[in-house]
Structure 1
């Protein structure tokens, strides 16, 4: 996998649509999330699915004005800037959403150096 470092600043995304999967329970601060474009999503052509170790698909990156938390980018703004297999790390959790930061190249490489990181189990 090629991890192109397009991120020059901190980019936060809102994760939601949990009720379809496991709810908010799988999320904890520091958890690694794999981002995958869901090209078969009939409701949203810019859908980005979120996957976690042990749980599989846990939700989606928010893509609506009413669901994107203030200060976060929507799936539509991120969709063309990432490749499948990019990763994010959960930073904050509320009752209905999680906020994650997309990893920069340096952060990704740092995670790879950690043999305990979930990144090893989520990589193709």
Structure 2
């Protein structure tokens, strides 16, 4: 699953967005602008933007926040694959990729995830769109 990250200019600009950088996806059900909002956080920077959720901001071939919302647990992860001045495309980690990140002691996942073992890998595997 690929997603579009937007609205990062008002936070830190595109500076923290590096290829293969790890992004934590955090659902914001109480967001006053979008009940399907999913924030994106990175190590050292905190919140860096949001998943795109409209036909005008979602890059073709990517899923909107609304489509991703029920497919992931709160606090799941994605890796940045492409970066422009206005958006970034990230790939949501598969369960196997998530496990590899946990096994890598150098991974930012250990700084972004309070309890990696608490993520429901079966739910992600079941809902993961290949």
Tell me whether the two structures share a fold, i.e. TM-score over 0.5.
yes
Where in structure 2 are there 5+ consecutive unaligned residues?
Answer: 115-130
Q: CA deviation at 1:114?
A: 0.9
Q: For 2:32 and 2:9, locate their aligned partners in 1 and report how far apart those are by CA, in whole Å.
A: 18
State the TM-score, normalized to the length of structure 1.
0.90
Match of 1:18, SS? coil
CA RMSD across the alignment? 0.7
Counterpart in the other structure of 2:80: 90
Q: CA deviation at 1:20?
A: 2.3
Deviations 1:7-50 (A, max 9, x none): xxxx0000001122111111000000000101221000000000
Q: Decide which moves more: 53-62 or 34-43.
A: 34-43
Does 1:27 find its partner at 2:24?
no
Does 1:52 find its partner at 2:54?
no
1:114 to 104, 110, 123: 104
Counterpart in the other structure of 2:31: 41
Counterpart in the other structure of 2:58: 68
Counterpart in the other structure of 2:93: 103
Tell me if the contact between 2:9 and 2:86 (Cα under 8 Å) persists in the aligned partners.
Answer: no
Aligned length: 114
Q: For 1:110 and 1:19, locate their aligned partners in 2 and report how far apart those are by CA, in whole Å.
A: 31
State the TM-score, normalized to the length of structure 2.
0.86
Please identify runs of 4+ aligned residues in structure 1 that moved more than 2 A: none
